[in-house]
Amino acid sequence: MRTRRSVRPVPALAGLLLAAALALTGCGGTDDSAGSGADKAVSDAAGGQGAAGAGSGRGAEGAGGAKGSGATAPAALAPEHVIRTASLTVRVAEVPKALAEARTAAEDAGGHVGRETTGRDEEGHERTEVVLRVPGGSYDEVLAALSGTGELLERSTKAEDVTDQVVDVESRIASQRASVARVRELMERAERLTDVVTLEGELSSRQAELESLLARQASLEDRTALATITLTLTETPPPADGGDDDPGFTDALAGGWHAFVTMLRWLAVVLGAVLPFAAVAVLLVLGWTRLVRPRLPRRPVPAPVPVPSAPGPLPSARPAPQPARPDEHPEG
């Protein structure tokens, strides 16, 4: 009896120690193998069904998004991303000279000319609008140089902080790239044709979204790296003093001369519009009189009717002798 009681506790104690060791080993390896186990399960599911593979790809995108967010978190500590724009209107004596100075200032700062438009107003004064792209570090210096080229008429500046947009786009790009890589991996493991077709459609849509994000990132980088300055140069002279007062003799004379010149311009316009029709009419008349009319048959001219001459004066009629009256006696 004593021998049986001494042997039974040994196996029980060994079993308890083995269970405790297995429990400790399982707790230490759970965290390390969780991700690989999930990935293996997703891959196995993708190899079996195409729809399940697409859904697994979307799940991988979420996981990649979390990783991308963690990877791009230090981007918030980078310098601020600011889009700077300015608009200037300057009156100068000579527009070509001022335009050359503006180009030189932008090129010396490491920028370039984006767009240029030149025209003239009604009075013949030249007006030029040019768009300059300069680095952000030289923005204030170039702006001050352009303002001093002449008389500053108008100036407006704007600064827009897009740091949040830049960080968001970078995070989405990282997430989308991980998603595309995951879908490609699933395509390599797919065995059925339906799975391959489904995954190809999913890959095309995610690749297009990735390209759109990359284009937006490039646009933000260009707009934050180079500031935009719109410069307008004009030769329009300033208004004369006393413009608010009543008009005088010189103003009336200038107004009359302007009206006279305007009338001459309109007459010239009307003459120019009527001249082609007048030339055609003259040609038609000359052709009728010189070519057509001589060839037409002429009508016979009727003989002149003789006009009877007026009758001459009739001889004067003598009065007939009257018979003598009985009471009258002839003499002798």
Q: List pLDDT tens digits, range 125-153.
A: 888 999 999 998 888 899 888 888 888 88
Give the sign of the dihedral formed by CA 7, CA 13, CA 19, CA 24: negative
Cα atoms in the 13 Å half-sphere on the side-chain side of 151: 10
Asked whether 91 and 151 are in contact (CB, 8 A), the reply is yes
Examine residue 202 and state whether it is found in any structural domain, yes or no.
no
The greatest distance separating any two alpha carbons of the chain, rounded to the nearest whole angstrom, comes to 243
Provide the H-helix boundaries in 2-49. Answer: 2-7, 9-48
Kindly state whether residue 119 falls inside one of the protein's structural domains. yes
| CATH code where residue 114 lies | 3.30.70
Task: Please state the domain count of the chain.
Answer: 1
Q: What angle do CA 154, 159, 164 make, to 5 degrees?
A: 165
Tell me, yes or no, whether 108 lies in a domain: yes
In a domain? residue 23 = no
Q: What is the dihedral of CA 96, 101, 106, 109, to 10 degrees?
A: 170
pLDDT of 321 reads 59
Pairing verdict, β 82-91 and 151-161? antiparallel
**pLDDT more than 90, % of the chain:** 19
pTM for the structure as a whole: 0.46
SS3 of residue 52 by DSSP: helix
Task: Give a yes or no: residue 159 inside a domain.
Answer: yes
When comparing pLDDT for 237 and 206, which is higher?
A: 206
Count the neighbouring beta carbons within 10 Å of the beta carbon of residue 77. Answer: 6
In a domain, 117, yes or no: yes
User: Is residue 113 one of the residues assigned to a domain?
Assistant: yes
Per-residue pLDDT reduced to its tens digit, 249-297: 787 888 888 888 999 999 999 989 988 998 889 888 888 888 887 777 7
Is the pLDDT assigned to residue 76 strictly greater than 50?
no
Residue 150 within any structural domain of the chain: yes
Residue-level pLDDT at 314: 53
One-letter amino acid for residue 12 of the chain = A
Q: How far apart are CA 203 and CA 181, in angstroms?
A: 9
Which domain range does residue 118 map to? 81-165+226-234
Distances (CA, A) of 186 to 54, 149, 189, 211: 9, 63, 5, 21
CA dist., res. 133 & res. 86, Å (int): 11
